[in-house]
Structure 1
Amino acid sequence: MAKTPEYAIIVAGGSGSRMQHELPKQFMEVAGKPILMHTIERFHKYNPAVRMVVVLPQEQLNTWRSLCQKHGFRLFHMTVPGGATRFGSVRNGLDAVMGDGLVAVHDGVRPFVAVETIQAAYEAAATYGSAVVAVSPKDSIRELTAEGSRAVPRAKYKLVQTPQVFQASILRKAYEQPEQEYFTDDASVVESIGESITLVEGSYRNIKITTPEDLLLAEAFAREG
């Protein structure tokens, strides 16, 4: 039986602002090459046949091509210009997904996602229609209230990561609707059309590189392999 086509939309729309850096964070180097290359390599390692769609701001497409030449980076992927928001960027990426299949949406600056996590997410989505990678909070959590704040049970909460994998037809239908303020990730977009969300266990190593501290951690993870 032929394997269901698998796609990965890798959203890399970040600037370097929170890094206090001129260079967009997805282009910053970890272990000698841009973060985004590490991310693409993880999906290729999981399945060399995954059809990768990398979404970048229009003004960064030429820079990315130059970086690929400089580093001799030849893993096949399509590049698509992003939208004004993450929602718009995912929608643009979806336009490059043909026919049916399973579609992962992943942050370009999460380069340490384990191959096993990617596999578990695709497998769960094949069975349930959706799969969202998440971990349990390590810290205590407080909810802000009108009076101040109150403690809430940590066991009732999950911290959401990516990849988030969906059957293509579900994701397309979800992204046909207008964007809303509460759409913070793909799970919230898909949930809003009445689909249920299946959680898959993630990893504390699957960090999103956003601040200078994250970059230090990334170098340490890269050294460990």
Structure 2
Amino acid sequence: MSSSELKKYAIIVAGGSGSRMQAAQPKQFLPIGGEPVLMHTLRRFHAFDPTMPLVLVLPQAEVKTWQGLCGDYSFTLPHQVVVGGTSRFQSVKNGLAALDQEQDGVVAVHDGVRPFVDNAILQAAYNKAFAQGTAVVAVSLKDSIRRVRGGSSKAVDRSAYRLVQTPQCFRLPLLRRAYAQPESPLFTDDASVVERFGHKIHLVEGSFKNIKLTTPEDLLLAEAFLQQEKNQPSAEPLKK
């Protein structure tokens, strides 16, 4: 079986608040380019593979808000909404439970507020996970870094470190087994869950454009990225 024949899935986790964004509503619902961030994110995956099942994990309190937004913006892209848990671990676990329990495939877990993942990154991540079981998108550091201990700091080699992004892709049976483990405070992302399960994590080159919208300054970048894409007629149009 080739990577193109293996079923692809995506779990989009959108449980953030608007605290660091200094917004009155959750950041995944804030508008960029005239519509909520989350709609842009879902559309990226649908444009990559229109047959891919999309599972959107939301807090219980935000489900009605999302349904209302879908009506307001005539957003009809197929996706399944699942209620998240009290932690990211529980939310991803709930998303996994919504997928076909008997099938193999590759599943991507992605932040709902990363709306600029592109086809090249998605293709590389799904292919790597198909071949080696895991594929975590990451980028090199651009700035110098220092390790702080107590009252002193020391320069360290930035080439030995990576900034982790999403999507994080895994063979579906592997991720299911990994998420059968008891939850641990050490689980900061899906890669840490799978690594604790004893599986090696493989990295895929990401992009500095694949930002996670967290602060008000990120919204300015997002609008600039959308304008840049709009001004590139050669770019493949996203499907609505």
**For the superposition of Structure 1 and Structure 2, which TM-score range results when normalised by the shorter chain?**
over 0.9
CA shift, 1:146, in A, is 3.6
Amino acid at match of 1:7: Y
Please name the residue that 1:183 is paired with: 187
Q: Choose from 174, 180, 183 the match for 2:178.
A: 174
> Equivalent of 2:47, from 45, 48, 64?
45
Q: Where in structure 2 are the equivalents of 1:89-104 lying within 5 Å?
A: 89-98=91-100, 99-104=103-108
Residue 185 of structure 2 corresponds to residue 214 of structure 1 = no
Matches within 5 A, 1:79-98: 79-98=81-100
Aligned to 2:76: 74
3-state SS of paired residue (1:149): strand
CA shift, 1:165, in A, is 0.2
- In the alignment, structure 1 segments of 5+ residues that lack a partner are none
Matched with 2:142 is 138
Q: Which amino acid aligns with 2:43?
A: E
Q: Secondary structure at the match of 1:17?
A: coil
* Whole-angstrom distance in 2 between the partners of 1:58 and 1:147: 43
Could you tell me how far 1:147 is from its partner in structure 2? 5.0
Query: Is structure 2 residue 100 aligned with structure 1 residue 125?
Result: no
Q: Secondary structure at the match of 2:188?
A: coil
Q: Counterpart of 1:9?
A: 11
Give distance in 1, aligned partners of 2:142 and 2:83: 36
2:21 to 19, 22, 39: 19
**Which whole-Å CA distance do the structure 2 matches of 1:148 and 1:100 have between them?**
50
Aligned pairs (5 A) from 1:194-213: 194-213=198-217
TM-score, normalization by structure 1: 0.98
SS at match of 2:131: helix
RMSD over equivalenced CA pairs, Å: 1.0
State the alpha-carbon separation in 2 of the partners of residues 149 and 169 from structure 1. Answer: 43
Report how far residue 21 of structure 1 moved. Answer: 1.1
Q: Deviations over 1:147-166 (max 9, x none)?
A: 52211101100000000000
Q: TM-score, normalised by structure 2?
A: 0.92
- Equivalent residues in 2 for 1:105-116, closer than 5 Å: 105-116=109-120
Cα-to-partner distance string for 1:128-177 (whole Å, 9 max, x where unaligned): 00000000000101112245221110110000000000001110111111
Per-residue CA deviation, residues 24-65 of structure 1 (Å, 9 max, x unaligned), is 100000000000000001001111011100000001001101
- The Cα of 1:97 is off from its aligned counterpart by 1.3
AA aligned to 1:34 is: P
1:4 deviates by 1.1
Quick one: percent identity of the two aligned structures?
59
> Deviating runs (4+, > 6 A) in structure 1?
none
**5+ residue gaps, structure 2:** 230-240
**Partner amino acid for 1:100?**
D
Deviation at 1:94, TM superposition (A): 0.5
